[in-house]
Structure 1
Amino acid sequence: MEYKFEEMTQERAEDIAFNWHYNGEFSFYDMESDQEDLVEFLDPDKRGNSHFVVINGTEVMGFFSFNKVAESTIDLGLGMRPDLTGNGNGLIFLIAGIDFAKAKYNPEKITLSVATFNQRAIKVYKKLGFEEDETFMQDTNGSRYEFLKMIYY
């Protein structure tokens, strides 16, 4: 697959926020599930130039956010279009995001945080070489959830 990264426009942010809905326990990742995250995702000033959509041909496949958290560390956020999840697309999508981050930001390490119930994603992250760092509790989506911080060197 040929993935192209483009800075996220307001129109695309709104489409993702209001039209992407995940099934079952993964509805946790619906943008509308957490108002604070939703407001941040929809605010172009808060998004800045760190959010990108991933396009294959003319189709939006997903998005990545890249936030510098230390001099040589990028924290990664990502989302794949709901109908593409659970079908073996995650690894190639993640590789594209890591390659983009390396080319654009040249980080020494990349971190991400994932809800611990999302074993499907954790498996993909580990397959690519992410290592477990620590677990922590975070208030989100109207409750408190356990997350796993992972690091890629």
Structure 2
Amino acid sequence: MAVVIKPLTQLQAEDIAYHWHYAGEYSFYDMDADEEDLIEFLDPAGRGDHTYAVSQDDELTGYFTVQPVEGNICNIGLGMRPDLTGRGAGQAFLKSVLHNVTVNFHPERITLAVATFNARAIKVYLKVGFTAAHTFMQDTNGSSYEFMSMVYEC
């Protein structure tokens, strides 16, 4: 079961935006939970060349974005298909993303931000080697939420 990572297509972006819905408090991560995020995700120019599809056995299993930032740092954002979450697949998915970013962008450090209520994701990030950096408030989804910045040293 080889993992394949390619640029996200418009059809895949629409599938994620319109069909990926997370249960309970995780609905926070539904693409349509924030109109600005939805518009950017569906716009090929908004996604640019920094959004990738992660597939296994020809099935879309997740996606990620990567943004090189100051110095030799890449910031990532990622999402796994809702029916795969909470089933122990997160570490393998995240390791595939980290490998791809490390090989293709050669960062010294990879950062991400996660909502602090998302203990499930934070646990995966910590197991793979991320460390907590700081928390901050961010306006999104019609309110203000606490996020944790996390860092992975390559």
1:92 aligns with 2:108: no
Match of 1:8 in 2: 8
Between Structure 1 and Structure 2, how many residues are aligned? Answer: 153
Match of 1:134 in 2: 134
Q: Deviations over 1:57-108 (max 9, x none)?
A: 1100000100111231000100000000000000000000000000100000
Q: Show the 5 A alignment for 1:1-153.
A: 1-153=1-153
In structure 1, how many angstroms separate the alpha carbons of the residues matched to 2:68 and 2:39?
20
| Offset of residue 141 of structure 1 | 0.6
TM-score (norm 2): 0.98
What SS is found at the alignment partner of 1:60? Answer: strand
In structure 2, how many angstroms separate the alpha carbons of the residues matched to 1:49 and 1:7?
7
Root-mean-square deviation (CA, aligned residues, Å) is 0.7
Which ranges in structure 1 are unaligned for 5 or more consecutive residues?
none
| Offset of residue 46 of structure 1 | 1.5
In structure 2, how many angstroms separate the alpha carbons of the residues matched to 1:6 and 1:29?
22
What SS is found at the alignment partner of 1:41? Answer: helix
Choose 68-77 or 112-121, whichever is displaced more: 68-77
| Offset of residue 39 of structure 1 | 0.9
In structure 2, how many angstroms separate the alpha carbons of the residues matched to 1:137 and 1:90?
25
Which ranges in structure 2 are unaligned for 5 or more consecutive residues?
none
Choose 64-73 or 74-83, whichever is displaced more: 64-73
TM-score (norm 1): 0.98
Amino acid at match of 1:77: G
